[in-house]
Structures are given as C-alpha cells and as structure tokens.
Amino acid sequence: MIEPMIPEHHGMSPPVIAEHIEAGRAGRARRDLHDEHCRVDDQRDPQGLAVSCVGQRRGAAVGAHDAGIGNLVAATESSLIMKIGELARRAGADVQTVRYYEKEGLIEPPRRTASGYRSYGPEALERLNFIRHCRSLDMALADVKRLLALSRDKSVSCEEVNTLVHAHLERVRAKRAALAALEKQLASLDAQCASGHRVTDCGILEELIHAAHGEACACHPRARGK
C-alpha cells in the first residue's frame, strides 16, 4: 500500500509524522466507504440515490470551483483599482498633470474611496496614455479633447479626425519651415565670430548691436523698415 503524501517539515518528530500518516489513511478509508455506498445505491436504484451521490460530489467540486473564480475576480478587480499616484506612475506622468487633465475635462472625475482618496480604474489609465501619446505629437489639448469625444461615438464618420490631424500636420510643416529659416540665421550669426576674441571684438555681439539699432546684420541682411 502506498503511504499518503504529507508536507515535508524539517524537525517534525516521528510521532507527529505517524499521526499525519494515520490521518491520511482514515480520510482515504472514509472516501472509499462513501464510494462503496454509492456503488451499492447505483445497483439498487440507478435513477435515484446513485444520482444523489454523484450530485453531491459534483456539487462540492463546482462549489469550490465557483468560490475560487469569485475570489480570483475580486482579487483581479482590486488589483486594477489605483490611487492617483499609482495611475501617474503607470502612465509615466506626475500627479499634478493628472489633476490638470481632470480639471480640463480630459479625464473623467474619479470615484472616491471611503477614506476620501481618488480611485481610478483601467479605463482611466488607457485614457491617460491616449492623452500623453497625442501630446507627444504636439497636439493641442483642445484637439486631444475632441479626439477623445469622437472615439466614444463609434457611429460617426472619421472625416473630422482626418481633418483635425491634417490641420495639425500643416502646422508642423509651417513650423519646420520657420525652424529651417531660424537655423540659417543662427548659422550666419555664429560664423561672425571665432573663439578666443575679447568681447569688444566679438562679431556676434557686434551684429546683435547693429540689429538693435535697426541696421542690417548677418542674421537679418535687410534693416527693419527697408
């Protein structure tokens, strides 16, 4: 006969080990006796008591399974509830930014715990990540807010989304052209002086002073008003 398995425990005395083994044998004997009664009942009344015995075993297993699922769901839901600091950390933002987005209406007002703390769910994290992604594309908050509103209405056309993004793209292109011109001006100004000169001989300062007088300079070849 195979002895029942018991948990390994360092320092457990032989009498205690013997008690665990005996308890395991007794439990197995009770289960064997119950199964034997079920087999006898099955022979006597296949549609009656036998079903009851099987139902008891299945009911106990299903009940334990349902309890396990319930505990798992509760634990999962609890793990998804965040305070404002945890929400900010997961999104890579700071708490003040989260509060500002709430104030501007980009994030729904959170629920409050019994102790008064803000309580956020996974939808708040998704929304915050959406906002931060749009901001990384240099989109204005007004545009981000509109995109959030459009994303909630699945029945509308995406034409407004396309128009909004295209307009932003045009602004970026205009900004890029302005930055290219600025780069050229700064390069011209930078070329007016090399290191090692005294301030009185600095070509960059000289050009800036000319510009301050309304005169032409390296970065602005034509004087203002001409």
Q: pLDDT of the chain along its 226 residues, tens only? A: 444 444 444 444 555 455 555 555 555 555 555 555 555 444 555 444 444 444 444 454 445 444 444 444 444 445 578 999 999 999 999 999 999 999 999 998 888 888 888 899 999 999 999 999 999 999 999 999 999 999 988 888 899 999 999 999 999 999 999 999 999 999 988 888 877 778 777 888 888 888 888 888 888 877 555 5
Domain that holds residue 34: 14-80
Cβ 88 vs Cβ 98: under 8 Å: yes
Cβ 4 vs Cβ 25: under 8 Å: yes
Q: What is the pLDDT of residue 30?
A: 57
Q: What is the CATH number of the domain that holds 141?
A: 1.10.1660.10
Give the CA distances from residue 214 to residues 95, 141, 192, 222, in Å, rounded to whole numbers and listed in that order: 47, 39, 18, 9
**Residue 196: both structure tokens together:** 């090692």
Q: What is the pLDDT of residue 3?
A: 44
Identity of residue 67: A
Q: What is the pLDDT of residue 80?
A: 73
CA distance 192 to 201: 10
Q: Is residue 94 part of a domain?
A: yes
Last residue of a domain, one of 136, 156, 176: 156
Q: Is residue 128 part of a domain?
A: yes
Q: Is residue 180 part of a domain?
A: no
**Residue 60: both structure tokens together:** 């106990």
Q: What is the pLDDT of residue 149?
A: 92
CA distance 193 to 200: 11
CA distance 181 to 144: 29
Q: Is residue 38 part of a domain?
A: yes
Residue at token pair 């032409």: 216
What b-and-e string marks burial along 210-219, b requiring 16 or more CB atoms within 10 Å of the CB? ebeeeeebbb
Looking at the fold, whether 90 and 147 belong to one and the same domain comes out as yes
Q: How many CA atoms lie within 13 A of 154 on its CB side?
A: 0
Q: What is the pLDDT of residue 50?
A: 42
Q: Is residue 50 part of a domain?
A: yes
Q: What is the pLDDT of residue 136?
A: 95
* Structural domains in the chain (count): 2
Q: What is the pLDDT of residue 31?
A: 59
